[in-house]
Chains A and B, each alone.
Chain A
Amino acid sequence: MTTMQKLLQLPVNAVNIVKTVQSQVQGQEEDKSPVLTPDSGQHSWYNALQPDELRHLRSGGTGGGGGGGGDQEERAPLEEGGGGGSSGGTFQTQPLRHDDLKEMLDSNKDSLKLEAMKRIVAMIARGKNASDLFPAVVKNVACKNIEVKKLVYVYLVRYAEEQQDLALLSISTFQRGLKDPNQLIRASALRVLSSIRVTIIVPIMMLAIKEAASDMSPYVRKTAAHAIPKLYSLDPEQKDQLIEVIEKLLADKTTLVAGSVVMAFEEVCPERIDLIHKNYRKLCNLLIDVEEWGQVVIINMLTRYARTQFLNPNINESLLEEGGGGEKTFYGSDEDEDEDEEEKEKKAEVAAMAKRKPYVMDPDHRLLLRNTKPLLQSRNAAVVMAVAQLYFHLAPKAEVGVIAKALVRLLRSHSEVQYVVLQNVATMTIKRRGMFEPYLKSFYIRSTDPTQIKVLKLEVLTNLANETNISTILREFQTYIKSMDKDFVAATIQAIGRCATNIGEVRDTCLNGLVQLLSNRDELVVAESVVVIKKLLQMQPEKHSDIIKHMAKLTDNIQVPMARASILWLIGEYCEHVPKIAPDVLRKMAKSFTNEEDIVKLQIINLAAKLYLTNSKQTKLLTQYVLNLAKYDQNYDIRDRARFIRQLIVPTEKSGALSKYAKKLFLALKPAPVLESPFKDRDHFQLGSLSHLLNAKAGGYQELPDWPEAAPDPSVRNVEVKESVFTLLERVTTLTSVPEWTKCSSREKRKEKKVEKPFYSDSEGESGPTESADSESDSASGSESGSGSEESGSGSESEESEEGSESEEEEEEEEEKDKKKKKKELKKPVPETESEQSSEEEDRKIKRKSKQRKSDSESESDEDEESESESSQSESEDSESEIEVKKKKKTAEMKPPSKPVKKETKKEKKEMSLLDLDDFEPAPSPQVTPVNTFLSNSLVTDLEGLSLSDSVLSPATIAPSSVLKNYELLHRITGEGLSVEYCFSRQPFSPDANMVAVQMQFTNSATSDTKNLHMEDVKLQSGMRVKEFPEIELLSAGETAMAVMGIDFCDSTQAANFQLCTHTRKFFVSIQPPVGELMRPIFLTENEFKKEQEKLLQNLGQLMGMNEITEKLTLDAKCRNEHAIVQRVTTAANLSRVPCGSDKECRFAGRTVTSSSLVLVTVATKEEGAAQLTVNCEKMVIGTMLVKDILLALTQ
């Protein structure tokens, strides 16, 4: 681009052209200015804006002459003289130059003023002093031209502090501006007023802020929020008043204000955490719609808030296992008693809860985690990091993993972002290594990375190293060692050293590798290796005298002082391992002593002392020689050391008692150094903070508090939200003209709020009577979130125009609504508010329901149950619907009778549906286990159908339909609405006869559809195989689906682990078969059975008894007849009964699925319940486990 073109592009220059025309017209005016002489006029214009351009030209050598003079202004006064040129002289005195500007400012032409202001601002931008123009500029503060005005503002803000008195002249203009009907002008007036750091106007500012805080325009309110910290920094005395304003603004409902006011809160009163309580839920719900920068601030603040208000979610690590344990006893229990069993269990659980108070996450805590999670997808790295640190500090361990992917994504960003992210990842990897392990390769180093990034990646890789991946990591390190970047190579060697100390298995390998590096050509590499080897050897010196010898030889070659010192120290420390070499090394060192570096000298003295103590015969003279040399060394440190050591080791009359202990002093066992990550313990700083990055507390850093012992009262967060819900909800209902697509999304949102409920009722479970209060608050926050995000979701015209241009009206409207709402409140007793809020949607739901009921009563029961689950979350998953029903009735009864008609009908309908449900569910019978009531009825019939066919196939088996036990694969809560149960269907798995068929039932109790259910990432023990179930494309809300998968367990009870994936989530699940499911029944006659049994016994004649296990037992009271025994055994194991003449003996036969080994079971009953159980099986392990399982089945 040529200069000419640039000239044309520049508005300023365009002005110049015009200006020259003007100058002809207004000749006399121009003449006053000494700068604007005809020949230099152009130049001076030039100067103000592009002196560098000119300098560039001059240095280029083209057109230099003219530009030379123009460059003056840019140069320091010293250079000015050299510039020469016709205009040079006129530049000598700055004030003169500014006269010209002043004149322009005084003129009545806006274009001239603008030009002058532009030049002044350009001066400010380049750091030139323009303060003497203050009076001239400040006059223009009332200028009509908005651009001039803005530039004057820029000037004012910059210089007002220096010229306080003059600045006061402008105040009245701003005060007028504060009343302007244009919100932009009001806002900018407040902005400038608050930016002028003049203490006298503090009261004016305070007043303005207060006024603006209740301005109709949210933009002005936002500006008010920004003004708060400005005033605070100017006059901290105003704190109390400012807190009041903050409190008021915190209650603001617009997303625009939220970020700014939290920022103000953080700067003015971060300790007043109590101000947040009432706004907590609102902030959580608004979060996603706040602008990015506000999100960062809010998330960071909420992290601190949550740390003070909620309990540590990881406090009760064992909780999950406990749940699993409960289930296991359940496995063993018998069907007949299952019902009682379960009730007992529940009671026990409740009792245990009361005793141990297991951790229940506060619903607000959950709300925060859930609402921040989507922000991990933000394009803004700071937001992602903020969410990541929030999860790291607040989430239960199992959930922290989600942040890893997002953080790894940031590694693709600018190198500065990488730098910060890697620092944080390094800290995280120390605490939660597992989280980043899957992304190991993302931390591999590229030769194009800057060194600082390389070193950080290396740190992360080192932290991630463990027994399983160390070989890949070391291989990677090997390539790094050859890098041309020597600092990086040194860091790699250090990293290898750390891996070696942390992972015992590879210590020798690493050591060998490092020893090989000792012959590297690069001295730095060798030196670094020596230092690291020294540290490693200290851990187990005995084994490695070879290496020490090898290193002793190196002293001839290595020049790097640190390395030489390290070698000498090693030899001295382990001189006993190298008794011959050590004195020789000392001899050489003594020769070169005077030429060594200080640290080497010190180590030579040390070596000498140690050798003298162990081997004084050979080294006495040498030591004395060295000490003598040291005595006259230039360095006093060395002289001191020599004197000190001489006194210690050479006994004289004068030497004190210490010399006796010289050996102990010098040759004491020294602890091996611990090679630690520099990022250890950094996590006491809040991650993502400046303090964390610097590993030092920065000014204004707010400590991340420790979790409280007991949770503070959660009800503090309840109050205000209730009111806002009204307005918001009403607003939602008034939005009648929602376009089609937004409707759908808003419905989704509404559904979402249902999902929220369970968390609330969680705590509610035990305390039934308080429910009303609790659920009220919950639905309040729920619908808040719904409508809150709806605002964004339906960011369509209607919503927007309401918010935007007609914001004032909106305000009024809101007020009106407030009034209305208050009236309503007066009319109705509190508990009804709940029904009121949800009435509308409930209505819709009911309608839908009734429709559905007509067509499909099954799904109806399902859906009902789904809504029920919300109120009774605390019940265990397999709870009977009866209880739910009761509970529902209870809640229904609790509702006061004085209800609107709508409500009445609703209740009726609800109860009708309940009745339906009762009718529908058959009373628990021994045939249908209570567990199954949880399944949809279609499944039950399905199963029954299956079992029928089954019983046809093997008539001797007692229909196993009743005995199919359901196990839980995925709990409804962890699955976020998706629950999966599985049972071993005991059907042959057609695609592969060696597989056990596992029938899975997916229930989507969430309110949104689940798609693409499939499995991934199957992790199996060797030999095991899995046939995946076909992908389920769509599982709509409330639906259930079945799928069958096959697993070849290889006749072992190892679990099959895999991930169950939906379109949004992945869940780690595992299926572990009870041993009884690893076999299939075979049909044998009694004779065949006996033959096989004998064969088995004879097969391994010498090891007689190895494949027969016999146990004596006492049968359970309810299980004394043949029928019961058969049922229980077939429940426990998939065996078929062998027809038998005697009724004292029951025999069962089967083969294991994979290897077809025979399994024979005999139960012989005797008097009074005594019995003997015999199991014959080639596979001893299976046999033993089977005995245990059957014993349990028969005795309980």
Chain B
Amino acid sequence: MIHSLFLINHSGDIFLEKHWKSVISRSVCDYFFEVKEKAVDPENVPPVLQTPHHYLISIYRGKLFFLSVVQTEVPPLFVIEFLHRVADTFQDYFGECSEGVIKDNLVTVYELLEEMLDNGFPLATESNVLKEMIRPPNILRSVVNTLTGGSNVGDTLPTGQLSNVPWRRAGVKYTNNEAYFDVVEEIDAILDKSGTTVFAEIQGVVEACVRLTGMPDLTLSFMNPRLLDDMSFHPCVRFKRWESERVLSFIPPDGNFTLMTYHVSSQNLVAIPVYVKQNINFFETGSCGRLDITIGPKQNMGKTVEGLMVTIHMPKVVLSANLTATQGNYTYDLTTKVLVWDIGKLNPQKLPNLRGSLSMQAGAPKPEENPSLNIDLKIQQLAISGLKVSRLDMYGEKYKPFKGVKYLTKAGKFQRLSLSFL
């Protein structure tokens, strides 16, 4: 299946290669570089490329390309999903997935890759299994290891590998037993020129942080599970139980994991927490324009909107912006032509406003289309869909765990199309 893996940085250097079958020369990446040059934007490099003898499947994560080489038919998503899992594992181990950090931990990375694939077929991808085989680096252990001659590599088979719950290791012990759940929802919405919703949906995710001793069996139930339209689960969730009773029953992995993701469709009218009044004009003469944006609260269920931020990709001809913001501050990046207005907390008494003039390249025709606004926001302690966790029960263990649920609403891909002249 997966023959080789190359890690390539933003400027096109191959800084790691790993082969699971016979060695493939790194010159195979030249095909990739060729396409990458053409594509300009790294996001536009097709994930699957065909070369005379190989197929190159790549992902772009954290300014790095993970490029895998395959020789025969394989489901492309299989490889892509795996590569993302590799990146996730790096993130999990080293805190971030960047060139520097990978180079710093080259040997650990190599050992990880060795465990994750055998002959190109995934072997161990569960984070907890890997962590038992190869321990994540930390200062204390490395000092101890050097002194005692211990190693970072486990010498017994992780119990998870053999059990029916490979995601959980045996013999977990905590003094404080706690289980926290974060319900995070993102609103995806497209509003049209007039501010009416073209498309809106909520994507939610239940992130869990479970530190419980032993082998607990948890049951998480919701007040209103019928809200959920479509969901995907961590393998630990018993699907049948959900089907029949609408409760999440699972033996949790140890530590942080994503319990489920869900989708609330636009049928159940999605509440849009803010409204945006905006007016961007470019004048035919005088090569300048005006900008006036006001943001106000709307359907936010009595919670404060925080972390409000507006991003506008200006047309190329806009040279500079001379604006005044009543709240927060703005920056205009001259090279990328991105105007960012960081507002912060939304004060319903005094609505934030940004206005001023834009100067454009002299002589250039006025832009045809007005730029659209991307809005970012956060609302603490609110799941905008109204989803509520009703209770968490634990079976299988005697102690009483500490439980907690947090809600957070964020703007996902929240887009406001602009008023245009026409």
Residues of chain A touching chain B, judged by Cβ–Cβ distance below 8 Å, are 6, 8-12, 14-15, 18, 49-50, 52-53, 56, 110-111, 114, 118, 121-122, 124-127, 145-148, 150-151, 153-154, 158, 161, 182-184, 187, 191, 194-195, 197, 217-219, 223, 226-227, 229-230, 233, 255-256, 260, 263, 288-289, 291-293, 296, 300, 374, 377-382, 384-386, 405-406, 408-409, 412, 414-417, 419-421, 441-442, 444, 446-448, 450-452, 479, 482-484, 521-522, 688-691, 693-694, 696, 698-702, 739-742, 745, 748-749, 752, 789, 791-793, 795-797, 799-800, 803-805, 807, 1008-1009, 1011-1012, 1063-1064
Give bound CA distance, A111 to B84, whole Å.
34
Determine if B80 and A260 form an interchain contact, defined as CB atoms under 8 angstroms apart: no
Give bound CA distance, A223 to B149, whole Å.
29
Query: 23 A-B Cβ contacts within 8 A?
Result: A11-B137, A14-B142, A18-B147, A49-B106, A53-B100, A111-B149, A125-B18, A126-B17, A127-B17, A146-B154, A154-B111, A187-B157, A256-B162, A291-B125, A377-B233, A378-B235, A379-B233, A380-B81, A417-B77, A447-B372, A451-B44, A745-B241, A796-B217
Nearest Cβ in chain B — how far from A466, in angstroms?
A: 19
Which A residue's beta carbon lies closest to that of B238?
Answer: A793
The answer to the question of B128 belonging to the interface, with a C-beta cut-off of 8 Å to chain A, is no
- What 4 additional pairs, Cβ within 8 angstroms, besides A380-B81, A384-B232, A804-B170? A126-B17, A219-B162, A386-B75, A446-B413
Return the contact of A379 from the options B17, B78, B258, B368 (Cβ within 8 A): B258
Q: List the A side residues contacting B130 at CB < 8 Å.
A: none
Contact with A along B35-65 (1 / 0, CB 8 A): 0000001011011101000010011110000
Q: List the A side residues contacting B217 at CB < 8 Å.
A: 739, 741-742, 796
Known: A380-B81, A448-B413. A420 touches B44 (CB 8 A): no
The answer to the question of B152 belonging to the interface, with a C-beta cut-off of 8 Å to chain A, is yes
Give bound CA distance, A822 to B361, whole Å.
90
Determine if B163 and A154 form an interchain contact, defined as CB atoms under 8 angstroms apart: no
Known: A127-B26, A263-B121. A158 touches B19 (CB 8 A): yes
By CB atoms of chain B within 10 A, which of A6, A14, A197, A1009 has the most?
A14
Nearest Cβ in chain B — how far from A406, in angstroms?
A: 7
Give bound CA distance, A674 to B238, whole Å.
50
Q: List the B side residues contacting A799 at CB < 8 Å.
A: 164
Determine if B118 and A414 form an interchain contact, defined as CB atoms under 8 angstroms apart: no
Q: List the B side residues contacting A124 at CB < 8 Å.
A: 110
Interface hits, B140-190 → A, CB 8 Å: 141-143, 145-147, 149, 151-157, 159, 161-166, 170, 190
Q: List the B side residues contacting A1064 at CB < 8 Å.
A: 243-244
Interface hits, B232-286 → A, CB 8 Å: 232-235, 238-241, 243-244, 246, 249, 251, 258, 261, 263, 266
Determine if A154 and B114 form an interchain contact, defined as CB atoms under 8 angstroms apart: yes
Give bound CA distance, A111 to B143, whole Å.
12
Q: List the A side residues contacting B107 at CB < 8 Å.
A: 12, 49, 118, 121-122, 125, 151
Q: List the B side residues contacting A414 at CB < 8 Å.
A: 59, 61, 80, 84
Determine if A125 and B139 form an interchain contact, defined as CB atoms under 8 angstroms apart: no
Known: A49-B106, A698-B72. A379 touches B420 (CB 8 A): no
Give bound CA distance, A1152 to B258, whole Å.
58
Determine if B22 and A749 form an interchain contact, defined as CB atoms under 8 angstroms apart: no
Q: List the B side residues contacting A479 at CB < 8 Å.
A: 192, 417
Nearest Cβ in chain B — how far from A369, in angstroms?
A: 15
Contact with A along B353-387 (1 / 0, CB 8 A): 00000000000010011001010000000000000
Determine if B151 and A444 form an interchain contact, defined as CB atoms under 8 angstroms apart: no
Give bound CA distance, A805 to B170, whole Å.
11
Determine if A699 and B143 form an interchain contact, defined as CB atoms under 8 angstroms apart: no
Known: A444-B199, A804-B163. A452 touches B44 (CB 8 A): yes
B interface, by DSSP: helix, strand, loop or mixed? mixed
The answer to the question of B15 belonging to the interface, with a C-beta cut-off of 8 Å to chain A, is yes
Determine if A484 and B149 form an interchain contact, defined as CB atoms under 8 angstroms apart: no
The answer to the question of B71 belonging to the interface, with a C-beta cut-off of 8 Å to chain A, is yes
By CB atoms of chain B within 10 A, which of A187, A217, A292 has the most?
A292
The answer to the question of B351 belonging to the interface, with a C-beta cut-off of 8 Å to chain A, is no
Determine if A420 and B77 form an interchain contact, defined as CB atoms under 8 angstroms apart: yes
Return the contact of A417 from the options B81, B201, B226 (Cβ within 8 A): B81
Nearest Cβ in chain B — how far from A690, in angstroms?
A: 5
Determine if B73 and A702 form an interchain contact, defined as CB atoms under 8 angstroms apart: yes
Give bound CA distance, A831 to B104, whole Å.
67
Residues of chain B touching chain A, judged by Cβ–Cβ distance below 8 Å, are 1, 14-19, 21-23, 26, 41, 43-44, 46-48, 50, 55, 58-61, 70-78, 80-82, 84, 99-100, 103-104, 106-107, 109-111, 114, 118-119, 121-123, 125, 137-139, 141-143, 145-147, 149, 151-157, 159, 161-166, 170, 190, 192, 198-199, 201, 203, 215, 217, 219, 226, 229-235, 238-241, 243-244, 246, 249, 251, 258, 261, 263, 266, 313, 315-316, 365, 368-369, 372, 374, 395-396, 413, 415, 417, 420
Determine if A300 and B75 form an interchain contact, defined as CB atoms under 8 angstroms apart: yes
Give bound CA distance, A522 to B46, whole Å.
27
Return the contact of A800 from the options B48, B122, B163, B233 (Cβ within 8 A): B163
Return the contact of B249 from the options A452, A741, A804 (Cβ within 8 A): A741
Known: A154-B114, A420-B77, A745-B240. A293 touches B82 (CB 8 A): yes
Known: A127-B17, A219-B162, A447-B415. A10 touches B142 (CB 8 A): yes
Q: List the B side residues contacting A416 at CB < 8 Å.
A: 47, 58-60, 80, 84
Q: List the B side residues contacting A1063 at CB < 8 Å.
A: 226, 244, 246
Which B residue's beta carbon lies closest to that of A408?
Answer: B230
Give bound CA distance, A377 to B236, whole Å.
12
Q: List the A side residues contacting B163 at CB < 8 Å.
A: 795, 800, 803-804
Nearest Cβ in chain B — how far from A473, in angstroms?
A: 12
Which B residue's beta carbon lies closest to that of A794?
Answer: B164
Determine if B43 and A415 form an interchain contact, defined as CB atoms under 8 angstroms apart: yes
Q: List the A side residues contacting B233 at CB < 8 Å.
A: 377-379
Return the contact of A450 from the options B44, B70, B234 (Cβ within 8 A): B44
Nearest Cβ in chain A — how far from B120, in angstroms?
A: 9
Return the contact of B230 from the options A182, A406, A748 (Cβ within 8 A): A406
Which A residue's beta carbon lies closest to that of B263?
Answer: A409
Give bound CA distance, A292 to B85, whole Å.
12
Determine if B46 and A419 form an interchain contact, defined as CB atoms under 8 angstroms apart: yes
Determine if B119 and A230 form an interchain contact, defined as CB atoms under 8 angstroms apart: yes
By CB atoms of chain B within 10 A, which of A230, A420, A749 has the most?
A420
Nearest Cβ in chain B — how far from A625, in angstroms?
A: 38
Nearest Cβ in chain B — how far from A332, in angstroms?
A: 40
By CB atoms of chain A within 10 A, which of B100, B201, B235 has the most?
B235
Give bound CA distance, A160 to B73, whole Å.
27
Known: A146-B151, A226-B118, A379-B258. A700 touches B72 (CB 8 A): yes
Q: List the B side residues contacting A18 at CB < 8 Å.
A: 146-147
Nearest Cβ in chain A — how far from B65, in angstroms?
A: 11
Determine if B146 and A229 form an interchain contact, defined as CB atoms under 8 angstroms apart: no
Determine if A288 and B239 form an interchain contact, defined as CB atoms under 8 angstroms apart: yes
Determine if B162 and A197 form an interchain contact, defined as CB atoms under 8 angstroms apart: no
Nearest Cβ in chain A — how far from B151, in angstroms?
A: 4
Give bound CA distance, A36 to B109, whole Å.
27
Determine if A291 and B139 form an interchain contact, defined as CB atoms under 8 angstroms apart: no
Which B residue's beta carbon lies closest to that of A702?
Answer: B73
Determine if A1009 and B142 form an interchain contact, defined as CB atoms under 8 angstroms apart: no
Q: List the B side residues contacting A219 at CB < 8 Å.
A: 157, 161-162
Q: List the B side residues contacting A482 at CB < 8 Å.
A: 368-369, 420
Q: List the A side residues contacting B372 at CB < 8 Å.
A: 447
Q: List the B side residues contacting A379 at CB < 8 Å.
A: 232-235, 258, 261
Nearest Cβ in chain B — how far from A12, in angstroms?
A: 8
Q: List the A side residues contacting B155 at CB < 8 Å.
A: 146, 182, 184
Return the contact of A745 from the options B106, B238, B313 (Cβ within 8 A): B238
Known: A154-B114, A483-B369. A381 touches B71 (CB 8 A): no
Determine if A807 and B162 form an interchain contact, defined as CB atoms under 8 angstroms apart: yes
Closest 3 CB pairs of A and B: A700-B72, A11-B142, A147-B151
Determine if A14 and B146 form an interchain contact, defined as CB atoms under 8 angstroms apart: yes
Which A residue's beta carbon lies closest to that of B367?
Answer: A484
By CB atoms of chain A within 10 A, which of B151, B251, B315 has the most?
B151
